[in-house]
Amino acid sequence: MHFRLPFLGLIANKDPMEGLVQHYNKIAECIHIINDSVECYVAGNDTCREFKELIEQIDKVESQADKIKRSIRNHLPHSLFMAVDKTLFFNYTRSQDNVLDNAQEALHWLAMRKVAIPVEYQKDLILLLSEVNDTTTSLGPALKATIALNDGKSIDREGTKNKFRKVRKHYAKAVELRKELTNRIYNSDMDFKDIYQLMHFVDCLNEMAHQAEGCADILRAMISR
Protein backbone atom coordinates (compact mmCIF):
# COMPACT_ATOMS: atom_id res chain seq x y z
CA MET A 1 0.00 0.00 0.00
CA HIS A 2 1.28 3.45 -0.92
CA PHE A 3 1.17 6.39 1.44
CA ARG A 4 2.11 9.97 0.70
CA LEU A 5 4.58 11.35 3.17
CA PRO A 6 3.68 14.63 4.89
CA PHE A 7 6.74 16.36 3.43
CA LEU A 8 5.28 19.79 3.85
CA GLY A 9 4.79 19.44 7.55
CA LEU A 10 8.47 18.51 7.88
CA ILE A 11 9.86 21.51 6.10
CA ALA A 12 7.39 24.32 6.57
CA ASN A 13 5.73 25.91 9.54
CA LYS A 14 2.38 26.17 7.83
CA ASP A 15 0.69 23.85 5.33
CA PRO A 16 -0.91 25.83 2.45
CA MET A 17 -3.71 23.26 2.40
CA GLU A 18 -4.61 24.26 5.95
CA GLY A 19 -4.83 27.83 4.69
CA LEU A 20 -7.55 26.66 2.33
CA VAL A 21 -9.60 25.58 5.35
CA GLN A 22 -9.37 29.11 6.75
CA HIS A 23 -10.42 30.43 3.36
CA TYR A 24 -13.31 27.94 3.24
CA ASN A 25 -14.55 29.14 6.64
CA LYS A 26 -15.27 32.50 4.99
CA ILE A 27 -17.64 30.72 2.61
CA ALA A 28 -19.61 29.48 5.60
CA GLU A 29 -19.85 33.08 6.85
CA CYS A 30 -21.10 34.28 3.46
CA ILE A 31 -23.73 31.54 3.32
CA HIS A 32 -24.98 32.60 6.73
CA ILE A 33 -25.33 36.20 5.55
CA ILE A 34 -27.19 35.19 2.39
CA ASN A 35 -29.54 32.94 4.35
CA ASP A 36 -30.42 35.85 6.63
CA SER A 37 -30.82 38.16 3.66
CA VAL A 38 -33.12 35.91 1.62
CA GLU A 39 -35.24 35.02 4.62
CA CYS A 40 -35.81 38.71 5.35
CA TYR A 41 -36.21 39.62 1.68
CA VAL A 42 -38.83 36.97 0.98
CA ALA A 43 -40.75 37.62 4.17
CA GLY A 44 -40.56 41.38 3.73
CA ASN A 45 -39.91 41.67 7.44
CA ASP A 46 -39.42 45.28 8.48
CA THR A 47 -37.44 44.19 11.53
CA CYS A 48 -34.64 42.73 9.39
CA ARG A 49 -31.32 44.45 9.19
CA GLU A 50 -30.86 46.96 6.39
CA PHE A 51 -29.44 45.45 3.22
CA LYS A 52 -26.76 48.13 3.25
CA GLU A 53 -25.46 46.59 6.44
CA LEU A 54 -25.60 43.08 4.97
CA ILE A 55 -23.74 44.23 1.86
CA GLU A 56 -21.01 45.79 4.00
CA GLN A 57 -20.78 42.58 5.99
CA ILE A 58 -20.42 40.27 2.98
CA ASP A 59 -17.93 42.68 1.34
CA LYS A 60 -15.86 42.58 4.53
CA VAL A 61 -15.89 38.76 4.65
CA GLU A 62 -14.96 38.53 0.97
CA SER A 63 -12.10 40.98 1.52
CA GLN A 64 -10.83 38.89 4.44
CA ALA A 65 -10.99 35.79 2.24
CA ASP A 66 -8.95 37.55 -0.47
CA LYS A 67 -6.25 38.35 2.08
CA ILE A 68 -6.11 34.69 3.11
CA LYS A 69 -5.89 33.65 -0.54
CA ARG A 70 -3.03 36.05 -1.24
CA SER A 71 -1.22 34.92 1.89
CA ILE A 72 -1.50 31.29 0.82
CA ARG A 73 -0.15 32.00 -2.66
CA ASN A 74 2.63 34.30 -1.42
CA HIS A 75 3.97 31.71 1.00
CA LEU A 76 3.91 28.59 -1.14
CA PRO A 77 6.95 26.36 -0.80
CA HIS A 78 8.91 25.07 -3.76
CA SER A 79 6.75 22.80 -5.92
CA LEU A 80 9.01 19.83 -5.13
CA PHE A 81 7.74 19.85 -1.56
CA MET A 82 4.04 20.34 -2.21
CA ALA A 83 1.87 17.50 -0.92
CA VAL A 84 -0.36 17.94 -3.98
CA ASP A 85 0.22 19.00 -7.57
CA LYS A 86 0.74 22.76 -7.66
CA THR A 87 -1.55 23.27 -10.67
CA LEU A 88 -4.36 21.44 -8.89
CA PHE A 89 -3.72 23.54 -5.81
CA PHE A 90 -4.02 26.79 -7.77
CA ASN A 91 -7.12 25.56 -9.61
CA TYR A 92 -8.75 24.60 -6.33
CA THR A 93 -7.91 27.94 -4.74
CA ARG A 94 -9.42 29.81 -7.69
CA SER A 95 -12.61 27.70 -7.72
CA GLN A 96 -13.10 28.02 -3.97
CA ASP A 97 -12.63 31.79 -4.22
CA ASN A 98 -15.20 31.86 -7.04
CA VAL A 99 -17.78 30.48 -4.57
CA LEU A 100 -17.24 33.57 -2.46
CA ASP A 101 -17.29 35.92 -5.45
CA ASN A 102 -20.64 34.55 -6.56
CA ALA A 103 -22.04 34.77 -3.04
CA GLN A 104 -21.06 38.43 -2.95
CA GLU A 105 -22.55 39.11 -6.38
CA ALA A 106 -25.78 37.28 -5.45
CA LEU A 107 -26.35 39.54 -2.49
CA HIS A 108 -25.46 42.68 -4.45
CA TRP A 109 -28.08 41.76 -7.05
CA LEU A 110 -30.66 41.04 -4.40
CA ALA A 111 -30.04 44.41 -2.78
CA MET A 112 -30.01 46.39 -6.04
CA ARG A 113 -33.71 47.20 -5.75
CA LYS A 114 -36.64 45.79 -3.84
CA VAL A 115 -38.53 43.09 -5.70
CA ALA A 116 -41.82 41.74 -4.41
CA ILE A 117 -41.32 38.01 -4.87
CA PRO A 118 -44.67 36.33 -5.64
CA VAL A 119 -45.77 33.78 -3.06
CA GLU A 120 -45.76 30.94 -5.64
CA TYR A 121 -41.97 31.34 -6.12
CA GLN A 122 -40.92 31.90 -2.53
CA LYS A 123 -40.84 28.23 -1.52
CA ASP A 124 -38.82 27.22 -4.60
CA LEU A 125 -36.34 30.01 -3.96
CA ILE A 126 -35.83 28.87 -0.39
CA LEU A 127 -35.43 25.25 -1.55
CA LEU A 128 -32.79 26.28 -4.09
CA LEU A 129 -30.91 28.28 -1.48
CA SER A 130 -31.07 25.30 0.89
CA GLU A 131 -29.59 22.97 -1.75
CA VAL A 132 -26.84 25.47 -2.56
CA ASN A 133 -26.21 25.72 1.17
CA ASP A 134 -25.92 21.90 1.42
CA THR A 135 -23.59 21.77 -1.59
CA THR A 136 -21.15 24.34 -0.23
CA THR A 137 -21.43 23.03 3.33
CA SER A 138 -20.52 19.53 2.11
CA LEU A 139 -17.33 20.89 0.57
CA GLY A 140 -15.78 21.61 3.98
CA PRO A 141 -15.63 17.96 5.15
CA ALA A 142 -14.42 16.92 1.68
CA LEU A 143 -11.54 19.41 1.87
CA LYS A 144 -10.54 18.34 5.40
CA ALA A 145 -10.70 14.64 4.50
CA THR A 146 -8.50 15.25 1.46
CA ILE A 147 -5.91 17.07 3.56
CA ALA A 148 -5.90 14.28 6.14
CA LEU A 149 -5.45 11.66 3.43
CA ASN A 150 -2.63 13.52 1.69
CA ASP A 151 -0.90 14.22 4.99
CA GLY A 152 -1.02 10.54 5.94
CA LYS A 153 -3.28 11.23 8.92
CA SER A 154 -6.07 9.14 7.38
CA ILE A 155 -6.26 6.05 5.18
CA ASP A 156 -10.01 6.30 4.55
CA ARG A 157 -9.83 6.81 0.79
CA GLU A 158 -13.35 5.48 0.13
CA GLY A 159 -14.84 7.63 2.89
CA THR A 160 -13.15 10.66 1.36
CA LYS A 161 -14.57 9.80 -2.08
CA ASN A 162 -18.04 9.56 -0.53
CA LYS A 163 -17.66 13.15 0.66
CA PHE A 164 -16.94 14.21 -2.94
CA ARG A 165 -20.03 12.31 -4.09
CA LYS A 166 -22.15 14.11 -1.50
CA VAL A 167 -21.12 17.49 -2.94
CA ARG A 168 -22.01 16.32 -6.47
CA LYS A 169 -25.34 14.89 -5.30
CA HIS A 170 -26.43 18.20 -3.78
CA TYR A 171 -25.21 20.13 -6.82
CA ALA A 172 -27.28 17.90 -9.14
CA LYS A 173 -30.39 18.71 -7.08
CA ALA A 174 -29.54 22.42 -7.17
CA VAL A 175 -29.29 22.32 -10.97
CA GLU A 176 -32.75 20.81 -11.30
CA LEU A 177 -34.26 23.32 -8.89
CA ARG A 178 -32.57 26.18 -10.71
CA LYS A 179 -33.90 25.01 -14.11
CA GLU A 180 -37.44 24.72 -12.86
CA LEU A 181 -37.40 28.02 -10.98
CA THR A 182 -35.80 29.92 -13.86
CA ASN A 183 -38.39 28.58 -16.28
CA ARG A 184 -41.25 29.63 -14.03
CA ILE A 185 -39.87 33.10 -13.35
CA TYR A 186 -39.09 33.75 -17.02
CA ASN A 187 -42.63 32.79 -18.05
CA SER A 188 -44.29 34.78 -15.27
CA ASP A 189 -46.22 38.03 -15.62
CA MET A 190 -43.75 39.90 -13.47
CA ASP A 191 -42.13 43.12 -14.61
CA PHE A 192 -39.14 42.45 -16.87
CA LYS A 193 -36.75 44.21 -14.46
CA ASP A 194 -37.99 41.97 -11.65
CA ILE A 195 -37.57 38.87 -13.82
CA TYR A 196 -34.03 39.85 -14.83
CA GLN A 197 -33.00 40.66 -11.28
CA LEU A 198 -34.36 37.42 -9.82
CA MET A 199 -32.95 35.28 -12.61
CA HIS A 200 -29.50 36.77 -12.14
CA PHE A 201 -29.74 36.17 -8.41
CA VAL A 202 -30.74 32.55 -9.05
CA ASP A 203 -27.84 32.16 -11.50
CA CYS A 204 -25.38 33.44 -8.89
CA LEU A 205 -26.69 30.96 -6.34
CA ASN A 206 -26.40 28.14 -8.86
CA GLU A 207 -22.86 29.20 -9.76
CA MET A 208 -21.89 28.99 -6.09
CA ALA A 209 -22.94 25.32 -6.10
CA HIS A 210 -21.29 24.80 -9.48
CA GLN A 211 -17.95 26.11 -8.24
CA ALA A 212 -18.22 23.98 -5.08
CA GLU A 213 -18.82 20.92 -7.26
CA GLY A 214 -15.77 21.89 -9.33
CA CYS A 215 -13.76 22.07 -6.10
CA ALA A 216 -14.83 18.52 -5.26
CA ASP A 217 -13.64 17.33 -8.68
CA ILE A 218 -10.23 18.92 -8.09
CA LEU A 219 -10.00 17.36 -4.63
CA ARG A 220 -10.75 13.99 -6.24
CA ALA A 221 -7.84 14.55 -8.61
CA MET A 222 -5.58 15.40 -5.66
CA ILE A 223 -6.00 11.93 -4.17
CA SER A 224 -5.82 10.02 -7.46
CA ARG A 225 -2.89 7.68 -7.96
Mean pLDDT of 3-26: 66
Give the integer Cα–Cα distance in Å for 34 and 193: 21
Mean pLDDT of 28-51: 77
Nearest to 154 by CA among 145, 163, 167: 145
Instruction: Name the pLDDT band for 42 (thresholds 50, 70, 90).
Output: confident
Quote the pLDDT of residue 86.
85
pLDDT beyond 80 at 4: no
Quote the pLDDT of residue 3.
41
Give the integer Cα–Cα distance in Å for 148 and 21: 12
CB within 8 Å of 152: residues ≥ 6 apart: 3, 4, 5, 6
Instruction: Name the pLDDT band for 9 (thresholds 50, 70, 90).
Output: very low
pLDDT beyond 60 at 1: no
pLDDT beyond 90 at 209: yes
Mean pLDDT of 110-138: 91
Give the integer Cα–Cα distance in Å for 81 and 36: 42
pLDDT beyond 80 at 79: no
Instruction: Name the pLDDT band for 35 (thresholds 50, 70, 90).
Output: confident
pLDDT beyond 80 at 52: no
Nearest to 201 by CA among 37, 62, 44: 37
Instruction: Name the pLDDT band for 40 (thresholds 50, 70, 90).
Output: confident
Q: Is the overall model pTM greater than 0.95, yes or no?
A: no
Quote the pLDDT of residue 48.
60
Give the integer Cα–Cα distance in Å for 93 and 97: 6
What are the C-alpha distances in Å from 128 to residues 86, 103, 206?
34, 14, 8
> For helices 16-43 and 119-150, what crossing angle results, to 10°?
170
CB within 8 Å of 207: residues ≥ 6 apart: 98, 102
Give the integer Cα–Cα distance in Å for 194 and 199: 8
